[in-house]
Amino acid sequence: MHVLALGSSRRKLFVLTGAVAVFGVAVSSLLLVDTGSSAPPLAIDGVDLAALQQQDIDLKAPPSDAQAKISREEAAARAGFDLPVKEVVLSRLISKLPPKMDRLVWAINYDGGLPIGEGPAPVPGEPTVDVEFGPADYMLAFVDAETGEFLFSVQANRMQP
């Protein structure tokens, strides 16, 4: 990613309006329910589906009678990212936490990813951490296979030691 910046995260440029250090940041609310699912996972090239499931992005094989109303080519076009596409996989996307969803989607698997950002801004008196990322492990975009709606994309970048 850093080839797209100035070559090093030391060049990252922030204007921080302020930083507030607190103890016990909290809001009250929310009870969560995990209903589980027994459908088998898909295989998507280079994607850690178990880790994605931890992010409440649960990808399963679609029902055997599932039929997309838009083509995979149209789905890739609607996602709109100017990146090479490795594969487009028909999937069932389940999210149990808000915004909850259970949709038939085209999962568009890209070769590479976008530059993403570099974490917190430096604050006087606190350690300066130069966060470095490796190249994108993967980037997926999800397009509703029935309506053609672009839902969201997710990209994973490993932080370098």
Q: Which residues bind other proteins (CB under 8 A)?
A: 4-6, 11-32, 51, 54-56, 80, 97-99, 114-129, 131, 133, 137, 150, 152-159
Report the alpha-carbon distance of residue 101 to residue 76 in Å, rounded: 20
Cβ closer to other proteins: 86 or 96? 96
Residue type, 44: I
Least separation in angstroms between residue 91's CB and other proteins is: 17
Report the alpha-carbon distance of residue 110 to residue 46 in Å, rounded: 10
Least separation in angstroms between residue 67's CB and other proteins is: 25
Report the alpha-carbon distance of residue 131 to residue 110 in Å, rounded: 24
Cβ closer to other proteins: 28 or 64? 28
Cβ closer to other proteins: 43 or 97? 97
> Quick one: CA dihedral 62, 63, 65, 69, positive or negative?
negative
